[in-house]
Amino acid sequence: MKEVLTDFGVENALNVLGINEVNDGTSTGSNSFSNGEIIESYSPVDGQLIGKVKTTSKEDYEKVMQAATTAFKTWRTIPAPQRGEIVRQFGEKLREKKEALGILVSYEMGKSLQEGLGEVQEMIDICDFAVGLSRQLHGLTMHSERPGHRMYEQYHPLGVVGIISAFNFPVAVWAWNTALAWICGDVCVWKPSEKTPICGVACQNIAAEVFKANNLPEGISCLINGDYKVGEMMTKDTRVPLVSATGSTRMGKIVAQEVAARLGKSLLELGGNNAIIVTPDADIKMTVIGAVFGAVGTCGQRCTSTRRLIIHESVYDKVKEAVADAYKQLRIGNPLDENNHVGPLIDKDAVGMYQKALTQVVEEGGNIVVEGGVLIGEGYESGCYVKPAIAEAKPDYKIVQHETFAPVLYLLKYSGDVENAIEIQNNVAQGLSSAIMTNNLREAERFLSVQGSDCGIANVNIGTSGAEIGGAFGGEKETGGGRESGSDAWKIYMRRQTNTINYTTELPLAQGIKFDL
């Protein structure tokens, strides 16, 4: 395997994470087994083979579910603060292996090393959040209308939580779900993206260390690998009361229908077509930083990536020039070299979609401001490196209405007041993240009001990308309506129960109903 530009080294990282040449893609704790076909994981960084993972067969899946359902019976009886202690230990393991896992994330997915390390830090942060939450899984008490009665609500674990994650955040989104599900008393079955399977094996190895050290049953953390057919096993399984799925809107609609057909619950984090509104009162320097990182970070492959820049006509030319100048400073190359800003797309299919988007925007009448293109030559052997591009467009272009999962930024012009910009922003099918750049308090408050942004995330004077784990993460419309991570997102992983206790010797009925015998 080719060595990349980091002192730690990919080979060393793989050894630290327990990654072998061929890894079992099905695992229940420390027990690994697989009978399926082989998935080969090639790095978009240099095209080198990282490792191989065996897919999960139907027989393997049944073993996983048996282990998970059995483990749940033990895990749910452990007090929540003690479950929190296990999550704390998992967070400590992540701290020990942060560099190794961050390198693997960067190498297998293609995001910059800083973003890879940042993703592992998100895992650590959600563990810290979950540890505190393990002592705060609170219900409500309320007064009964009947004398001598007490009413309250409490929350119980759901059972097996199924997690389907996407390639762009190959470890963090799993941790968002898993850390909260674990402290809630649930066990987890995870199907990572078939494009980043080695990251899944690494995380499962780390979790298995913690559970084994604490003599806890296998099955609290389970891993399955494969394509959509493996995911279907979980979405159709009545033993999985909640399926949390992150990915495209197309995929989410399929999952939602399958899970709803059996009256299960789904938590969906799907597509985003995110915009930054730039008003005449915007700080241009801040706007450029927010827009450029939002558009090119993770090579435009974040669900919160900035796709549209909606600029007031009075500052349009100034902002266009400033953003275009900033693009000239971008360094594209090996993401493990921290001198570079932009790494590769995940694979050549993604490159094809990027090229198609640039062709389509021109066909619809758009104007290319910063030329795109595929990079070739030394350092670009994988064929996955592209130039971040900027195109002038109109809001009603079909390509602008679509989520382009690549570093293509569309510049849109608006006139009049901020209401017009908000209307443009909201007039897409997706509703994940949004932002406004302004020093005008009235504009900012209007953007955040009930008549403002219709997205699950609405920011003022920061970009669309880069959420903190303290707040609930998710969006509306075709983004799916799910919420993960902070705030009260834990409630989706539990079932609510209302309890009424009668401590008298009589049995009065609610609403004053008389039923005398």
> Catalytic residue numbers?
269
Map tokens 């452990």 to a residue.
78
Q: What is the DSSP string of 15-27?
A: HHTT--SEE-S-E
How far is C-alpha 241 from the geometric centre of its chain's CA atoms? 20
Beta bridge partners of 269: 246
- Which value, to the nearest 10 degrees, does the dihedral of the CA atoms of residues 21, 27, 29, 32 take? -60
* Cα–Cα distance measured from residue 320 to residue 361, given in angstroms and rounded to the nearest whole number: 17
CB 450 within 8 A of CB 460: no
Amino acid letter for position 174: W
The distance in angstroms from the start CA to the end CA of the chain is 83
DSSP H helical ranges for 189-265: 197-213, 228-235, 249-261
- Phi/psi at 357 (5° precision): -65, -45
* Cα–Cα distance measured from residue 350 to residue 368, given in angstroms and rounded to the nearest whole number: 20
Give exposure, 425-457, as e/b (b: 16+ Cβ within 10 Å).
bbebebbbbbbbbbeeeebbebbeeeebbbbbb
* CA 129-130-132 angle, 5° bins: 70
